[in-house]
Chains A and B, each alone.
Chain A
Amino acid sequence: MIQALEATDLGKRYGKEWALRDCTLKLPIGRVAGLVGPNGAGKTTLLHLAMGLLEPSTGSVQVLGISPRQNSSSILPRIGFVAQDRPLYRTFSVKDMLTLGQKLNPHWDMALAQERLANLSIPLNRTTGKLSGGQQAQVALVMALAKRPEMLILDEPIANLDPLARYEFQQTLMDAVAQDGLTVLFSSHLIADLDRICDYLIILSASRVQVASDIDSLLRTHKRLIGPRERQASIARTHTVLREQSSERQSNLLIRVNGPVLDPAWEVQEASLEDIVLAYLALQTGVTFSVQHKDTQEVPL
Chain B
Amino acid sequence: MIWVTWRQHRLEALIAAIILATLILILLITGVDMLSTYQSTGLASCVTPQPTCGELEGNFINQFSGSVSLLSIALSCLPLLAGMFIGAPLVARELEQRTYRLVWTQSITRVRWFGTKLILLIGISLLAFIALAILTSWWSSPWNAVIPWSTYDIRGIVLPAYALFALALGVAAGVLVRKSVPAIGITIVVFLLLRLAIAFLLRPYFLPPLSYTGSVDNPGPPSPTDWTIHVGTSDRYGHELSDSQIGQICPQLKGNGSASAFLAFRNCEHAQGFHSLSFYQPIDRFWLFQSLEAAIFLLLAIALLAPAIWLVSKKIT
Residues on A facing B (Cβ under 8 Å): 48, 51-55, 72-73, 76-77, 79, 81, 83-85, 87-89, 92, 96, 99-101, 103-106, 147
Q: With contacts A77-B107, A105-B106 known, is A53 near B317, CB below 8 A? A: yes
CB within 8 A of A51: which of B1, B4, B105, B110? Answer: B105
Judged by a CB distance under 8 angstroms, whether B108 is at the interface is yes
**Does any Cβ of A come within 8 Å of B124's Cβ?**
no
Q: Choose among B4, B101, B104 the residue that contacts A100 (Cβ–Cβ < 8 A).
A: B4
Size band of the B side of the interface?
20 to 34
Chain A nearest Cβ from B311, distance in angstroms: 12
Task: List CB contacts (< 8 Å) of B92-118 with chain A.
Answer: 97-110
- Contact surface of B with A, Cβ cutoff 8 Å: 1-4, 7-8, 97-110, 315, 317
B4, A104: Cβ atoms closer than 8 Å? yes
Residues of B within 8 A of A53 (CB): 100-101, 104-105, 317
Contacts of B106 in A (CB 8 A): 76, 100-101, 104-105, 147
Interfacial chain A residues near B102, Cβ < 8 Å: 83, 87-89
Q: Can you list 6 pairs linking A and B with CB atoms under 8 Å apart?
A: A81-B105, A87-B101, A88-B99, A89-B102, A103-B2, A104-B107
- In contact, B104 and A89 (Cβ under 8 angstroms): no
Q: Is the CB of B109 within 8 A of A72?
A: yes
- Tell me the total A-B contact number using a CB cutoff of 8 A: 65
Cα separation A88 to B99 with both chains bound (whole Å): 7
A residues in contact with B97, CB < 8 Å: 87
11 additional A-B pairs beyond A101-B106, A103-B2, beta carbons within 8 Å, are A85-B98, A88-B99, A89-B8, A89-B102, A100-B4, A100-B103, A103-B3, A103-B4, A104-B103, A104-B107, A147-B107
Kindly list chain A residues whose C-beta atoms are within 8 Å of the C-beta of B99.
87-89
Cα A147 to Cα B107 in complex, Å, equals 9
Residues on A with beta carbons closer than 8 Å to the beta carbon of B3: 99-100, 103
B103 nearest CB neighbor, chain A only: A104
CA distance A292 to B249 in the complex (A): 104
Which residues on B sit within 8 Å (CB–CB) of A76? 105-108
Given contacts A53-B101, A54-B317, A87-B102, contact A105 B7 (CB under 8 A): no
* Bound Cα distance from A85 to B101, whole angstroms: 10
A87 touching B98, Cβ below 8 Å: yes
Residues of A within 8 A of B108 (CB): 73, 76, 104
Q: How far is the CB of B66 from chain A (nearest CB, A)?
A: 41
- Is B109 within 8 A of A83, CB to CB? no
User: Quick one: which of B3, B100, B106 has the most chain A CB within 10 A?
Assistant: B106
Cβ-closest chain A residue relative to B109: A73
